Amino acid sequence: MKMSIPRRLSIGGAFMLAAIAARAGKPAPPATKMSLPTITCGDSTQASINISICAGATGAPAGVTIQWETAADFAAHGWSDANATYCDASFSGNANLSRYNLAPNTCVTVDVGEFLFDNGASTTCPVALACGTSYVFRAFTHATSTLQRSDFTGNLTCTTLPCGSAGGCTLTQGYWKTHNPTGGCSDPTSPLCVAWPVADLTLGTVDYDVPELIAIFDLPASGNGLVALAHQLIAAKLNIAAGSDGSAVAQAIADADALIGGLVVPPLGSGFLSPSSTSTLITTLTDYNEGATGPGHCAP
């Protein structure tokens, strides 16, 4: 005998099937926020930490922002604006020649502590990190004309290398830039008024006096590999002149001088080198200045 389905159940089932079908055919609601980026720890020196920032499915066409503070400050205050213990750096994808306009699922690496100030980069804390110290990081993707900024990533903890010895140690290009004998030192007793161990330096085959070297330090690289290379080369030569063992970078210094040759470094001249031709030398010199190689970075 054929069984019949009660009318009440068959009607309910029909409504259920209709609802399922409607949901299956209905498009997902439009996104209102940029996709969450991801961040990971990279190589560290005694003065900096490389952070890799990867865009999500929406990309990061307008760039990203990263924030950080010491683990001790984070434990005490979290991300509280009231205490303002954290730093941030913005990497705009809208700036001319910016490398921070990220396609979906692509990444960029930033060096927190000794920023390469190329187009689109700015920060509230342009200083070296403390050696032997853990830092907490988070990031978000900038808003566009159609989507709000992303949420913050989860917290990421990375640590700088242990402090080196106090004797014959190295200092970063950021230190030499901000601690110099003429750079706005109206008060000669200021700790920023530091006598450099040289009266001039040769970069390539061109000689520069102290005010000219400071002018080079003060110029953002802005995509010019010559300026970025000069920043690290000046610091390395100052460290060696101050008594640091330079054997770890002797060949890199010779190679950098050979590459620069007679080019005059901006803003004093119009010399230019592509970043791709200088990146390896910059990394080697930076590692020395920041303590990853050589005698180690000076403890703060």
- Condensed to tens digits (0 to 9), the pLDDT of residues 83-119 reads 778 999 999 999 887 889 999 999 999 989 876 667 7
299 inside domain: no
> Is residue 143 domain-shared with residue 51, that is, in the same domain?
yes
61 inside domain: yes
121 inside domain: yes
Question: Encoding tokens for residue 145?
Answer: 């004309």
Helices 225-241 and 210-218, interaxial angle, to 10°?
130
Edge-first strand listing for the sheet containing 49-54: 38-44, 49-54, 107-112
167 inside domain: no
10 inside domain: no
Average pLDDT over residues 188-195: 71
Residues present in the chain in total: 300
Which range (59-68, 121-130, 146-155) has the least confidence? 121-130
Task: Indicate the pLDDT class of residue 289, thresholds 50, 70 and 90.
Answer: very high
14 inside domain: no
At 134-159, the pLDDT tens digits run 999 999 999 999 999 999 999 999 99
At 218-235, the pLDDT tens digits run 998 888 999 999 999 999
Range of the domain at 133: 38-159
152 inside domain: yes
In whole angstroms, give the CA distance from residue 18 to residue 11: 11
> Is residue 45 domain-shared with residue 70, that is, in the same domain?
yes
> Is residue 192 domain-shared with residue 152, that is, in the same domain?
no
Residue 22 CA to its chain's centroid (Å): 48
In whole angstroms, give the CA distance from residue 55 to residue 153: 11
Is-cis flag, bond preceding 30, omega within 30? no
At 255-269, the pLDDT tens digits run 999 999 999 999 999
Q: What is the CATH number of the domain that holds 154?
A: 2.60.40.10
275 inside domain: yes
